[in-house]
Amino acid sequence: MMDAVDIDQSSLDWLLAGDPSVAWQAQRDLAGDDRWRATRALVGSRGWGRRLLELQDPEGTWAGGLYTPKWTSTTYTLLQLRRLGLEPSSTQAMAGVRRLLDDAKWVDGGVSYWVSHRFAERCVNGMVLSLACYFGIEDPRLDGLARMLIESRVADGGWNCDDYRGHTRHSSFNTTISVLEALHLWRLRTGSREADEAIAAGQEVLLEHRLYRSHRTGEIIDEAWTRFAFPPRWHYDILRGLDHFRAAQVRPDPRAAEAIEVVRRRRRPDGRWPIGPRHSGVEHFRMETGRNAGRWNTLRALRVLRWWEDG
């Protein structure tokens, strides 16, 4: 029920009046409006989605690079378009993903974009797999990439980009969330159940830490995780973690209750959430500016709270 999460009509109307990328998700996730598909179809031709697509290089890349520069390269631009909800059938996006796959150096079943790297960095491979699955790329290498990620968990069940050093036993939340999102999309795309155990183990890592606390001391691991940036780029935070559980249709777990309260406390008196911090680096443009309420964080927070209350 809408009242259970206190979605006031003015905030809902404000979301619906935003960029098509926000509006279609508000229609689907908050308003129960069946017209969301028509609104989603506008993402590539209006507003922020159109602006990003217009910046594509003739070769199909962005900013002339596959993974760098941050945050304007092909990888990060496509990640932003995925979060905006660009239609998966976008030929421009598919061309970009093809460049990520075909121009990469393939090592150990995954991709690398650095001459000096002779290993498949888990975080980067999670991002690439998520993009390929979301945009419907058919490529036999993707199943191998997914299996590489499934088999590369560290001792506690999650993932860490530093595992190539051979002594990493603890997960990185930044890496784990990217891999979880990717394996979820791979499971949706292929119907495969091969990733079920790995996904459950990675989710358990987050829950064991209550999404942001040390399991040994109970201290907050990183205060930045309690403030929500959009787009998140490669960074983890509480809201991104909770939104993964919602998208994966995981039943709310009591160990996430404290994280939910952090989200509630970030709410402004007007019922909306602030824009949040920015991750340093060059951007194509800013979607939201100033010390104002942010549509992206308001949308994500409200749908997470609805998932929690409805669970």
Is 247 among the domain residues?
yes
Q: Note the pLDDT of residue 118.
A: 85
Q: Note the pLDDT of residue 57.
A: 98
Looking at residue 131, which CATH number applies to its domain? 1.50.10.20
Q: Note the pLDDT of residue 4.
A: 57
CB 287 within 8 A of CB 229: no
Taking the C-alpha atoms of residue 272 and residue 265, their distance in angstroms, rounded to an integer, is: 11
| pTM strictly above 0.95 | yes
Taking the C-alpha atoms of residue 79 and residue 253, their distance in angstroms, rounded to an integer, is: 28
Six token digits for residue 165: 């050093």
* CA 62 from centre of chain: 19
Whether the CA torsion 33, 262, 279, 130 is positive or negative: it is negative
Is 127 among the domain residues?
yes
Which strand (E) or helix (H) includes residue 279?
none
Is 260 among the domain residues?
yes
Tokens 């069946």 identify what position? 34
Six token digits for residue 280: 């340093």
Is 304 among the domain residues?
no
Is 42 among the domain residues?
no
Is 7 among the domain residues?
no
Question: Per the structure, how many domains does the chain have?
Answer: 1
* CA 240 from centre of chain: 7
Is 266 among the domain residues?
yes
Written as tens digits, the pLDDT of the chain (311 aa) is 333 577 999 999 999 999 999 999 999 999 999 999 999 999 999 999 999 999 999 999 999 999 999 999 999 999 999 999 999 999 999 999 999 999 999 999 999 999 888 899 999 999 999 999 999 999 999 999 999 999 999 999 999 998 877 767 899 999 999 999 999 999 999 999 999 999 999 999 999 999 999 999 999 999 999 999 999 999 999 999 999 999 999 999 999 999 999 999 999 999 999 999 999 999 999 999 999 999 999 999 999 999 999 98
Is 151 among the domain residues?
yes
Residues 6+ away with beta carbon under 8 Å from 85: 21, 24, 25, 40, 43
Print the domain residue range for 290.
59-294
Encoded amino acid at 36, one letter:
W
